[in-house]
Amino acid sequence: MAIFYWKGGVSGAWATATNWFKDAALTVAAGAFPNDSAAIVVLTNSASANITTFGASRSIAALIDFTAWDDVGRLTATDYTLTVGSASFLANYADNEVSIIGNCIFSGDGCSNSGTIVGNCIFSNGSTNGGGTITGDCIFNGGGSHNYGTINGDCIFSGGSCRNQTGATINGNCIFNSSSGRNYGTINGDCIFASSTRNFTNGIVTGTCVSKSTSSHLSTSTVSGNAIFHTATGIETAMTITGSIVPLVPVIATGTIGKRPLDVLGAGI
């Protein structure tokens, strides 16, 4: 297993050996470029150029990115796909712009994904899926970590104020379990809203919703499936439910709903 540190400067090509070094100080030439599944690639904020081309599909053991969005030395190549055992974006405002196959962690403050990822992802410390497409499951567990893009997989929003934002789409099931968690986008799946989370302004859920906390409720939104109020107050303000309401607590219905509680009981479910 070899560790390669990117410097660049000769060109922005991954496959140019003189762009790579053996040490973080970028003083000992590597004499080769990372080209096997045992290699570890480290991007520092001391490089001279971005990685602009892969030249071919590349496969490595791990990518560790310490560059911020405005640092030279970022990975910007879009000609081929990078396959990794794992990718970690650790610097403040580090941004992934490329196609990655493998699991990713975005833990630097304000990190963002604007590329395409096939793999599971964790977003923390205010990092976001900022318009990128992810095929895999995601966890948003840092305060202010949001989804602005498309996720084809299940999601957990567990950090304070973590949200599926307006225009974002999740094709999978979701759990919202944090202070002030919200869905403003579209979720094509079932959802659980716990703690003080809500399906909020213009939020759309095409599956079944479970409202499971004394402070969570559905507001100014649309649910195309059934709505189950477990321990919540069950307040709907200007909302639409096309399925049935299953109230396990008293429900105040001020929006447009499908079947009322007595209709549900009459239907035998």
pLDDT of 142 reads 79
Q: Residue 265: CA atoms inside 13 Å, Cβ hemisphere, count?
A: 5
Backbone angles phi, psi at 2, to 5 degrees: -120, 145
Would 188 be classed as within a structural domain? yes
Query: Does residue 251 lie within any of the structural domains?
Result: yes
Give per-residue pLDDT as tens, 198-226.
787 889 999 998 877 655 556 678 888 88
Stretch 239-253: mean pLDDT, rounded?
A: 69
Domain residue limits at 24: 1-113
Q: Which of 113, 138, 164 is the last residue of a domain?
A: 113
Determine the number of helices (DSSP H) and then strands (DSSP E) in the chain: 1, 32
Q: What percent of the chain has pLDDT over 70?
A: 86
Out of 162-171, 190-199, 210-219, pick the least confident. 210-219
Asked whether residue 22 is assigned to any structural domain, the reply reads yes
Q: pLDDT band at 236, cuts 50/70/90? A: low
Q: Which residues contact 265 (CB under 8 A, 6 or more apart)?
A: none
* Claim to verify: residue 109 and residue 219 sit in the same structural domain: no
Instruction: Give the chain's end-to-end CA distance (angstroms, integer).
Output: 59
Provide mean pLDDT across the span 55-60.
98
Do the domain assignments include residue 69? yes
pLDDT in tens, 93-108: 999 999 999 999 999 8
Among 150-159, 195-204, 225-234, 252-261, which range has the highest average pLDDT? 150-159
Q: Are 194 and 216 in contact (CB under 8 A)?
A: yes
By residue count, the chain amounts to 269
pLDDT value at position 214?
Answer: 55
In a shared domain, residues 164 and 95: no
Cα 169 from Cα 249, distance rounded (Å): 30
| Residue carrying structure tokens 């590349």 | 58
Is residue 146 a part of any domain in this protein? no
Residues 78 and 181 in one domain: no
d(CA 76, CA 6): 13
pLDDT of residue 80: 98
Residue 212 lies in a domain: yes
Token pair listed for 15: 């496959």
* Last residue within a domain, chosen from 92, 113, 134: 113
Same domain, yes or no: 102 and 159: no
Is residue 142 in some structural domain?
Answer: no
Q: Kindly state whether residues 88 and 188 are assigned to the same domain.
A: no
Tell me, yes or no, whether 51 and 104 share the same domain: yes
Residue 251 is predicted with a pLDDT of: 59
23 and 79: one domain?
yes
Same domain, 159 and 269: yes
Q: Which of 113, 141, 176 is the last residue of a domain?
A: 113
109 and 209 both lie in a single domain: no
The verdict on 87 and 190 lying in the same domain is no
Domain count, the chain: 2
Burial class (CB in 10 A: 0-12, 13-18, 19+), 265: exposed
DSSP per residue over 48-65, as a string? SS-B-B-SS-EEEEEEEE
Average pLDDT, the chain: 87
Q: Is residue 50 part of a domain?
A: yes
CB–CB of 105/87 below 8 Å? yes
